[in-house]
Amino acid sequence: MEASIFAHSAYDLAESEAEREAESEAEREAEREAAGRLQTGLETRFSARASARRLPARYPEGMTSEHAAASEGAIPAQPEPAEEPKKPERAGFTYRFGRFLITGLARVIYRPRIEGTESVPTEGPVIFASNHLSFIDSIAIPVAAPRPVHFLAKSTYFEGTGLKGWISREFFTAIGAIAVRRGAGQAALDALDQQKKLLEGGSAVALYPEGTRSLDGRLYKGRTGVAFLALETGAPVVPVGLIGTNEAMPKGAKIPRFNKRITVRFGEPIDVSHHGPANSGRARRAATDEIMAAIHALSGQELADAYNEAPAQGTVEKIKRALPHERR
């Protein structure tokens, strides 16, 4: 009975995804704008940290701002209690049951080639960095990986109504997906913080350095968010090369095709700490380039040598694109 419900749920999710695939190009542009806002937010964080380290002492040694305020007869302001951050969801029964069911079906129907699982650390924090070709990438990686994996998911998967909305919300929550709201830079930063907490707790997360799906099959330049997480947490990065997922479920398809074979390749873990600290733009760029080179060696895709971005609109955006700046 449970297997029947889960299989039906998977079909509903695929059908729901097909409906979402009909989104306009304007909505895809909003997704890219969100990545830009994430970049701005991270740059602000790094600037604030650097300023705090350079800030000279304003009071004599041993005297704080509270002491100074008291000496002037003022009542020092009481700090507001910090809001307890929401603990990221971890993989639960639905994930394990669903993985068992889907893995069995996938091996019979798709006969997937899964290579390099012996290279994946079985415990401790791990970042899976993969190319991105299809919606089912976020299912292929957790199914093929030898351990539970958390990944980012659009907030629309959690906000649906009715039976389909409930199924989608429960499914993605149970497998540890992290919701990202489009067009909201702060929400993207919050998601980055959740990923950091998962890694600090010894979990594994999956990221797509390209930022969004490649519609032409080429491998685009990586954004540096993956390097920031790796450098900030010390987690090793396992490159992943996905082959054939865009043929198994191309854009606009309602359900995956059953006559296409998928390959998932896991590479050797990469330690990017030798590139420098997380607050170094040069270190983040170099670490990202090393990760993308490893992904390319596994996927064999044609290199685009550009970011996966929509054409610049307006003079200001064109000037911004022409100037050197970091994409996260």
Q: Is the predicted pLDDT of residue 262 greater than 50, yes or no?
A: yes
The confidence score (pLDDT) of residue 210 equals 94
CA 86/CA 202 separation, integer angstroms: 17
Q: Are 10 and 99 in contact (CB under 8 A)?
A: no
pTM > 0.85: yes or no: no
Q: What is the pLDDT of residues 294-324, one digit of tens each?
A: 999 999 999 998 998 766 666 666 566 555 5
CA 159/CA 168 separation, integer angstroms: 9
Range of the domain at 112: 2-45+87-322
Whether 245 maps to a domain, the answer reads yes
Q: Is the predicted pLDDT of residue 265 greater than 80, yes or no?
A: yes
> If we measure between CA atoms, which residue out of 209, 202, 22, 237 comes closest to residue 132?
209
Beta bridge partners of 207: 129
Whether 158 maps to a domain, the answer reads yes
Lowest mean pLDDT among 42-51, 104-113, 135-144, 145-154: 42-51
Q: Are 202 and 124 in contact (CB under 8 A)?
A: yes
| Percent helix / strand / coil, the chain, rounded to 5 | 50, 10, 40
Q: What is the pLDDT of residues 72-88, one digit of tens each?
A: 444 444 444 444 444 55
Whether 246 maps to a domain, the answer reads yes
Q: Is the predicted pLDDT of residue 275 greater than 60, yes or no?
A: yes
Burial of 84 (C-beta count, 10 Å sphere; 0-12/13-18/19+): exposed
Q: What is the pLDDT of residues 86-116, one digit of tens each?
A: 455 555 666 677 667 777 777 777 778 999 9
Q: Is the predicted pLDDT of residue 124 greater than 60, yes or no?
A: yes
% the chain with pLDDT above 90? 35
Q: Is the predicted pLDDT of residue 54 greater than 50, yes or no?
A: no
Q: 293: which 2 tokens?
A: 């080179």
Across the range 128-157, mean pLDDT stands at 88
From residue 325, alpha-carbon distances to 182, 192, 239, 278, 320 in Å are: 22, 20, 25, 16, 8
Higher model confidence: residue 12 or residue 214?
214
Higher model confidence: residue 162 or residue 22?
162
The confidence score (pLDDT) of residue 70 equals 40
CA 200/CA 124 separation, integer angstroms: 9
The confidence score (pLDDT) of residue 270 equals 98
Contacts of 148 (CB under 8 A, 6+ apart): 90, 91, 95, 142, 176, 203, 204
Average model confidence (pLDDT) for the chain? 75
Q: Is the predicted pLDDT of residue 229 greater than 80, yes or no?
A: yes
Whether 6 maps to a domain, the answer reads yes
Across the range 229-253, mean pLDDT stands at 94
Q: Domain of 107: which CATH number? A: 3.40.1130
CB atoms within 10 A of CB 23: 14
CA 156/CA 171 separation, integer angstroms: 13
Higher model confidence: residue 6 or residue 286?
286
Whether 173 maps to a domain, the answer reads yes
- Dihedral over alpha carbons 130, 133, 136, 140 (to 10 degrees): -30
CA 317/CA 143 separation, integer angstroms: 40
Higher model confidence: residue 201 or residue 91?
201
CA 46/CA 224 separation, integer angstroms: 14
Q: Is the predicted pLDDT of residue 159 greater than 50, yes or no?
A: yes
CA 307/CA 254 separation, integer angstroms: 28
Whether 136 maps to a domain, the answer reads yes
Strands (E) located in the chain: 113-115, 126-130, 150-154, 178-180, 204-207, 237-243, 263-266
Whether 328 maps to a domain, the answer reads no
CA 183/CA 31 separation, integer angstroms: 6
Whether 327 maps to a domain, the answer reads no
Looking at the structure of the chain, the number of domains it has is: 1
